[in-house]
Structure 1
Amino acid sequence: MNRREFIVLGGAVAALATSRVTLAADWPNKSVVVISAYPPGGTSDIIARLVADLLTAKFGQQFVIENLAGAAGALAGGKLARSAPDGYTILVSGSAPIAANKVVQTNLAYDPEADFTPITIVAESPALLTASAKAPAKTLQELIAYAKANPGKVNIGNPGAGTKGHICAALIGLQTGIELNHIPYKGSPPLLADLLGGHIDFALDAPSNYLPHIKDGKIHGVAVTSAHRIGELPDVQTVAEQGLKDYEQTLWFGAVGPKGMPADIVSAIQKTIKDWIDTPAAKEKLASLGLTAVANTPEEMRSEMAREIESIKPLVTAGLVQPS
């Protein structure tokens, strides 16, 4: 997925470009850095590039992606926390650097709740559990049975420690009592490459990168973590359908600024994203990636950050997620 593909925004982007906004101190009067916490190609980076394109069209200045991958997003989060709160640096990412890292990283150089200004959650999706062609199980119940018969032999990859893929797998282990080895990768692309190559049997991650390979039969969709099946994979059952009653987990991708970012700039960015989210083109584009539009308020995002942080603490207490 590249920047050119996102200019399917079409009429929506054109409308944004013709209604540019002037804010206090003429923001923006120079380029703005959009930090992407993961390597190019993964869902988090796709969302960051989408947001950068939208804001460039709206405000007439370049919103430039800076990929700063590493330490499950902690490098990106640390840079944002050290940035001036002038509206010229924002972070667009999955939830790990924005929330989970507070719990799963012991020496984190920032506190996401204290050091970030929430802007909006752009989109959400279930996590997707996938299996390689060589995997010993193709359904969740087969995986559980195999793990019980072969303790310590099931490896499940995730795009980084503390990511929602990691958390979702830990919850499956907690509810079933099986032992899973959680293997963190530096983003989705290398995880997918190892899954396709048969170097790891299972992965839990956002769906978008995996959808075409499931449809081509190169890997198998095992389960989705949402309450309902997703339209792109109607034959893949939910975790709850496969025996884990009431199991429901979603991933989200949001935008934040440094602490003290001016409220009018926050509002302008949030409104730009929401205006696009409200278009049919946006919903269609996000659905093709296995995503659902959100565009909530900064206050709602702050509440979701806190909820996610609290939800991970029991997993740490139980030793299923080890702080690094």
Structure 2
Amino acid sequence: MSTSRRSFLARSSALALGSAALPWSLPARAAGQYPDKAVRLFVPYPPGAATDNLGRLAAQTYSEAYGQPFVVENRGGGGTTIGTRALAASDPDGYSIGMVDSAFTINPGLLGDKLPYDTLKDFKPISLMVTAPFVMVTHPSVKAKDLAAFIALAKAEPGRFTFGSAGIGSAPHLAGEQLRQHAGIDILHIPYRGGGTVFTDLLGGQLHFAFGTVPTLLEHIKSGALNAIAVTSAERVGQLPDVPTFREAGLPGVDTSPLFGLIAPAGTPDEIVAKLSSTIAEAILHGSLNARLAGMGFQPVGSTPEAFAKRIADDVAKWTQVIKQGGITPE
């Protein structure tokens, strides 16, 4: 074989090896350099909502960790579908991520084919940041101090007891629906436009009970204005150590604990998702965010992408069944 022929084959082999290695080396290199410009963080709510506040904490954490701006972009409306659809349509390059809450897992069962994206296929979970357990509270006029007594009263007077929520298909509504289905009681749901008025009417005695987050209701519980019946978390809540879980009270099927987490468009490189996940998880589990989130009434989680993906799939299946069994349709 001639020298020129051997030289040509050697160069060809080197190019072939380099080309074969390229798809494997580029993502790792990209993740190492990521981010090298601003990143958008979509929040499907207007400024000031709990999901927005958590999104801004995540953006601040990432900006400080990477030295690049993470810019919150509020896209409210459509029951969170407008902002989430915008994220799904974004380039999957790591420069668009988003915050989601329980509406993300409720909407598939509530909206069905009208949902403008596929919750399980169009996104890559990054991390479940926190959960926010509900506490069931009653007005003092309800002569029941525990769950068993409340269920007995509701069975004795079907259709009498009312509860309110921020709207049809909201997480507090579905918590009440879980109670109705698992306890076998006839209770009346009254949907409001927003959660604030619910508790005003509950305190005034226009409603009999409601579900809300512990920070929202803690002051009213401690003052005796409302009675705490049970919490929806798997374990008791630190701020209410004497209030049992629904499982302890004999009704484990009531387990609504709203989730808040980060996702990216499907197709985002795994290496970038892993980097984003480990950074936020470290801050939540071991960094400055841990005490801050707990002080806000959240239960810090900081999950892996895989654990968050499982939670999303489990919740979609659960809420779809609750909605179907309850015959719930959107407003």
Q: TM-score range by the shorter chain?
A: 0.7 to 0.9
Q: Are positions 1:181 and 2:188 aligned together? A: yes
Aligned mate of 1:268, from 252, 264, 275: 275
Query: Which residue is 1:104 aligned to?
Result: 110
User: 1:231 Cα deviation (Å)?
Assistant: 0.8
CA contact (8 A) 1:158 1:203 kept: yes
Query: What is the alpha-carbon distance in structure 2 between the residues aligned to residue 188 and residue 52 of structure 1?
Result: 26
For 1:74, the aligned partner's letter is T
Matches within 5 A, 1:160-199: 160-185=167-192, 188-196=195-203, 198-199=205-206
Query: Which residue is 1:304 aligned to?
Result: 311
Query: What is the alpha-carbon distance in structure 2 between the residues aligned to residue 237 and residue 109 of structure 1?
Result: 40
CA contact (8 A) 1:33 1:63 kept: yes
Query: Which residue is 2:9 aligned to?
Result: none
- Residues 213 and 53 of structure 1, relative CA distance in 2, 3 Å threshold: farther
- Residues 111 and 284 of structure 1, relative CA distance in 2, 3 Å threshold: same
User: 1:273 Cα deviation (Å)?
Assistant: 0.7
Q: Are positions 1:35 and 2:43 aligned together? A: yes
- Deviation digits for residues 160-214 of structure 1 (CA, Å, limit 9, x no counterpart): 5444433322121111111233344555445445544555432223323222333
User: Percent identity over the alignment?
Assistant: 33
Secondary structure in 2 aligned to 1:84?
A: coil
Q: Are positions 1:287 and 2:291 aligned together? A: no
Query: Which residue is 1:319 aligned to?
Result: 326
CA contact (8 A) 1:38 1:73 kept: no
CA contact (8 A) 2:94 2:264 kept: yes
Q: Are positions 1:140 and 2:147 aligned together? A: yes
User: 1:114 Cα deviation (Å)?
Assistant: 1.3
- Residues 72 and 215 of structure 1, relative CA distance in 2, 3 Å threshold: farther
Query: Which residue is 1:129 aligned to?
Result: 136
- Deviation digits for residues 9-61 of structure 1 (CA, Å, limit 9, x no counterpart): xxxxxxxxxxxxx846752512523314466243x333223212212222333
Query: Which residue is 2:241 aligned to?
Result: 234
Query: Which residue is 1:14 aligned to?
Result: none
- Residues 198 and 322 of structure 1, relative CA distance in 2, 3 Å threshold: same
CA contact (8 A) 1:35 1:76 kept: yes
Structure 1 segments of 4+ aligned residues over 6 angstroms from their partners: none
Query: What is the alpha-carbon distance in structure 1 between the residues aligned to residue 138 and residue 288 of structure 2?
Result: 32
- Deviation digits for residues 111-140 of structure 1 (CA, Å, limit 9, x no counterpart): 111111111101124222123456665543
Query: Which residue is 2:217 aligned to?
Result: 210
RMSD between aligned alpha carbons? 3.1
User: 1:314 Cα deviation (Å)?
Assistant: 2.8
- Deviation digits for residues 257-302 of structure 1 (CA, Å, limit 9, x no counterpart): 2222233332222111111122264433333333322222212211
Which ranges of structure 1 fall in alignment gaps of 5 or more residues? 1-21
CA contact (8 A) 1:227 1:247 kept: no
Aligned residues: 302
Query: Which residue is 1:10 aligned to?
Result: none
Query: What is the alpha-carbon distance in structure 1 between the residues aligned to residue 139 and residue 86 of structure 2?
Result: 36
TM-score when scaled to structure 2?
0.77
Query: Which residue is 2:92 aligned to?
Result: 85
CA contact (8 A) 2:120 2:313 kept: yes
Which ranges of structure 2 fall in alignment gaps of 5 or more residues? 1-29
For 1:244, the aligned partner's letter is L
TM-score when scaled to structure 1?
0.79
CA contact (8 A) 1:104 1:323 kept: yes
Aligned mate of 2:81, from 74, 84, 98: 74
